[in-house]
Structures are given as structure tokens and as C-alpha cells.
Amino acid sequence: MDMRLTGRVAVVTGASKGIGLAVTRALLAEGAKVVAASRTAGPELTALTGPDLVHEAVDLMDPEAPARTVARAVREFGGLDILVNNAGGPPPGVDLPRDSFFDASDEDWRAMFEFNLFSAVRTVRAAIPHMLSGGGGSIVNVSSANARQPSQINVDYGAAKAAMNNLTKALSEEFGPQGIRVNTVSPGPVLTPWWTDPGGVADRLAGRVGTDRTGVLDKLVPETMRLTTGRLADPEEIADVVVLLASPRSASTTGAEFTVDSGFVKAV
């Protein structure tokens, strides 16, 4: 299926690995031009560098970074059609999961909201004027199944992502009539480096329960999270939904949440 993205200009935040890398790769494959924003590029993103991809080295905890990233897209490619707010998860220096609500201080909460919500707010604020001047666009906010399935071990993260879902709805109502669609993709557990890297969540959980990384990923997590599919999702499965929502083929889809969570969320 042709996604009709050839020549369209996209910004993807958190693009160096995991879901962001998969989204960047998928957009390039569809002919889009991409500004990939992350603190560092990493070897996999660097391997994609070419005339249709530039890396913007930014720390999105910096309030000025979102505007610089959008400006880079306009400067390099002449405009902006697509924004994928993917940057999120634990802020630098923070480890998840926690053991309790009481493990997160005020500063931890501020950092979590800064990274997972305010960075997206600022990027949207910078992006929308360019989208309006170009006749419209698509914003896809990557949230989390924890926005609707609360967890005491990730309480500050889930609260920030719930706010992201609310933001998506509000933006879609205000700017939909002006040609800007805004949607949310909410992943469940995904085989990203946050889980799979040495010392990552899988290793930390393995140390707590007396198993190994493979046992955590293949058995413990699917069983304890009651994943209907019996496995964590691949980043490419999230990217496919993001690209479809970015595409003009989703022209009548706005203000929607697409959950790609292996059946984690059970509520209607």
C-alpha cells in the first residue's frame, strides 16, 4: 500500500533506538524526509543517514530544544508535515520500574513530566505554525498503555502519559478544522533497548526473581502482564501504526488512540 508520504517532511523525537528508530526507518522507506532528534545518533540511526535524513543532536529536557529541532526541519527540507512525539520513558538518570509510589520524589515527578509531556507540548507549539502555513499536517503522540492501565511501579510515568492522551484530544479538537490531525499510539511492553540492553529492565527483574533475561522476556512478563499474544511487541509493529496515522490515507482519523499492547489493556 502506498502511504502517499513521498517528499513529506517529518520530525521524529527519540529517534536513535527502539520505537523511534523503527518509525524513522519506516518513514524513510515510504519516501519521507526525516529530521531524527535524539541526544546521540547511535550506529543504527547513523547507518540511515543520507539526503533524506538528518540527525539533530538535542536533549529534549532543554526547553529550547524542540524549537531548534522544528527549525532544522524547515531549514533543511522547506517545511513540516509530520511530527512524531516519541521521546519518552525514564528521563536521564532515572530507572524504572520503581517499587512503590513513595519511591518518586517531587523532582522525579517533575523530570518525568518534563521528558514525557512538556517536551511534546513544546515541540507541538513549534510545529503547528509551520503545518498551518503548509496547509495541514499530522501529529502522532506516542503514549503508553499505562496511561489507561495504572501501575504503582510506574505511577509518575503513567500519569504523564495519561496527560499526553488528554493533550492529543484537545489538540485534535482545536486544530482538526484547520487541517492538522492529532492521534495517539499507546504501546504496551515492546522489545526496545530499555528492556533488552544489558542492565536493562529484563536483567533487573531477572535478578529479583532468580531467572535470566530470556526467562523474563519470554515467560515472566507475558504471564504477569497477561499479554493475550503471549509476547512483547516488536518496535516495527508500533511504527507501522504510526506511519499509517501520519499518512493521508488516515485523513478522517483524528483524536483517536490506537493501542498496540499485545492485549495488555483488558478494559472496554
Q: Catalytic residue positions?
A: 157
d(CA 247, CA 262): 24
- Enumerate residues 6+ apart whose C-beta is below 8 A from 122: 63, 65, 66, 67
Name the nearest CA neighbour of 105 among 33, 68, 155, 56. 155
Q: Look at the alpha carbons of 235, 61, 199, 207 in this order and tell me if their dihedral is positive or negative.
A: negative
Degrees (nearest 5) of the Cα angle 111, 113, 119? 95
Q: Look at the alpha carbons of 174, 134, 130, 247 in this order and tell me if their dihedral is positive or negative.
A: positive
* Residue 91 preceded by cis peptide, ω within 30: no
The DSSP symbol for 85 reads: E
